[in-house]
Structure 1
Amino acid sequence: MTIKQAMVLAAGLGTRMRPITDTIPKPLVKIDGKPMIDYSLDALAEAGVERAVVNVHHHAEQMLEHLRSYTRLEIIISDERERLMNNGGGLAKGLKLLDPGDVFVTNADLFWIGEPSDRPSNLRRLAGFYDGNQMDMAMLCVKLEDTTGHNGKNDFNLANDGKLSRYREQGPKPVVYAGAIAMNTSFLDDAPDDAFNLNIYFDKAIARGRLYGMMLEGHWLTVGTPEAIGDAEETIRRYRTFA
């Protein structure tokens, strides 16, 4: 299955990235010469996505200018300049700009490298893994040891049947949420119009036994502070050397 539409969450303030984000939005901070959001957009385009909603707030004009120049897929803007909606509210608002149906959800400041060249990409695999008959969300997950820049904490336990539950030390395989989801837009049909955290819907899916996870292939990076830029770029160089 090919998922042809997506939502990229890109409206955060990037407060931990100050002073860099005093003058530039976090998704446009360059890592190894490439704006962070372009890692996400390129992965979506490679997976067959044709159009993506991107929400904007902080330094929105810079975001709009950059996104106008991105040509690999159609970009639709969800404008949050008047009111920042948190990740859940931003997603619910943005999904209204897409057709009802299956969709990817990704983050503008989380990305991965080192996917095996002889296998489908992580997002193509996630689209194939997602089954709306039994899943509310299919989440891309990664082992803690395959991350750079993360806070060192696991998010979920992944059972043998693919179901996810909130992390507990004595639970099955511990994993980190890698910032990509396949889902149907209808799962957020009952979402409030106000700002809210997407964790509400993670917990809703868990309670219904319908939150599933699939393991990422490669290495996952998150860049939350100015100091983390160097670590991310060193990891990228290391993977390029061994490619």
Structure 2
Amino acid sequence: MQAMILAAGFGTRLRPYTLIQPKPLFPILNRPLLHRLLDMLAAVGYRRIIVNCHHLATRVRDALGPYPGVICQYEPEILGTGGSLRMALNHLDDEPLLVMNGDIVHSIDPAALYEYHRCSGNMVTMAVHDYPRFNTVAVAHDRVLSFQPEPGVQRLAFTGIHVVEPQVLARIPEKSFFHIIDLYQELAGRGRVGILRVDGSFWRDIGTPEDYLQLHGELLAGTGEMSIAGAGKIRGNWLSAGDVHMADGVELCDWGCLGHGVRVGEG
């Protein structure tokens, strides 16, 4: 199985933080999100994995150091999802490609989606769910009708995870910016874009600072007590990466993450 993680974007909704750190490298419980996604793919059998990069590309490339088998696809110009996937054809075998956004935290099974696609006869299979904030994909039964809301038609949200046949990507113009949804809309009109509902899976987007904070509040709920050097007190759900020290009289409440080497001083 082969997969691609999209990690080239600017992360404009997360500025100014993304001016110094690309969104896929934001820590999730003190580990880069990109590492978590790579581990997820490797654990279920993906052996060929591509990560594209453009914005702060050196940081992304450096983050792939612990993953020597991963292909880093540098894009001198931003190409959009379609242009990036077309460029990836240079690295792919003649089999379906799983595509995953690099800014989502989820429990969707990428192997199950891949197998469903292979048995479906679809040209594209999209993992979707009912998520009212993002419900913009018009569907009927197991097919996408349109990527624009239509009156009287059920709408679901695209999770940012899908599987596509390589011959679809070959139709994209080379070395140019391209919105992949433009091509998928054409295929949907011919009934060639299917869906797999994943409503029971955990899924969160870290597109904004508020989303990022809310995600950690959810993940840390119920984590229990932890040990930190020093005489401070902890009341709530906190996570420490280690080598953390709290001064006397400090009290941590609610929830949060403390990274390596953090010192919490008095006051």
**Under a length normalisation based on structure 2, what TM-score does the superposition of the two structures give?**
0.76
Answer with 217-226 or 124-133: which moved more.
124-133
Structure 2 CA distance for partners of 1:158 and 1:57, relative to 1, 3 Å: same
1:28 to 2:9 alignment: no
User: Would you say 1:123 and 2:110 are equivalent positions?
Assistant: yes
Q: Give, in angstroms, the shift of residue 109 of structure 1.
A: 0.6
The corresponding residue for 2:123 is: 136
Structure 2 matches for 1:1-243, cutoff 5 A? Answer: 4-70=1-67, 74-80=69-75, 82-113=76-107, 122-131=109-118, 134-144=121-131, 152-160=133-141, 162-166=142-146, 167-172=149-154, 174-193=155-174, 194-216=176-198, 217-238=200-221
Alignment size in residue pairs:
220
Query: Deviations for 1:77-101, whole angstroms, at most 9, x for unmatched residues?
Result: 1111x21111110111113211121
Distance 1:240 1:45 in 2: 26
Identical amino acids, percent of aligned pairs: 27
**1:177 Cα offset (Å):** 0.4
Q: Could you list the runs of 5+ residues in structure 1 that have no partner in the other structure?
A: 114-120, 146-151
Equivalent residues of 1:53, 1:98 under 8 A apart: no
Alignment CA distance shift 1:111-1:201 (3 Å): farther
| In structure 1, distance between residues paired with 2:163 and 2:6 | 14
Residue 131 of structure 1: CA displacement? 3.6
One-letter code aligned to 1:195:
F
How far is 1:183 from its partner?
1.9
SS at match of 1:236: helix
SS in 1 for 2:73: strand
| Contact 2:5–2:52 under 8 Å retained in 1 | yes
Q: What is the deviation of 1:132?
A: 6.8
Displacement after TM superposition at 1:134 (Å): 2.8
Equivalent position amino acid for 2:153 in 1? G
SS of 1:106's equivalent? strand
Q: Measure, in 1, the Cα distance between the counterparts of 2:210 and 2:122.
A: 38
The RMSD of aligned alpha carbons is 2.0
What TM-score do you get using the length of structure 1 for normalisation? Answer: 0.83
Secondary structure, aligned partner of 1:213: strand
For structure 2, which runs of at least 5 residues remain unmatched after alignment?
225-267
Deviation at 1:25, TM superposition (A): 1.1
Larger gyration radius, structure 1 or structure 2: 2
Greater relative contact order (Cα < 8 A, sep 6+): 1
The equivalent residue for 1:148 is none
In structure 2, the CA distance between the partners of 1:47 and 1:196, relative to structure 1 (3 Å rule), is: same
- Give 2:241's aligned residue: none
* Whole-angstrom distance in 2 between the partners of 1:38 and 1:158: 33
SS of the residue corresponding to residue 63 of structure 2 reads helix
Q: Distance in 1 between matches of 2:206 and 2:151?
A: 26
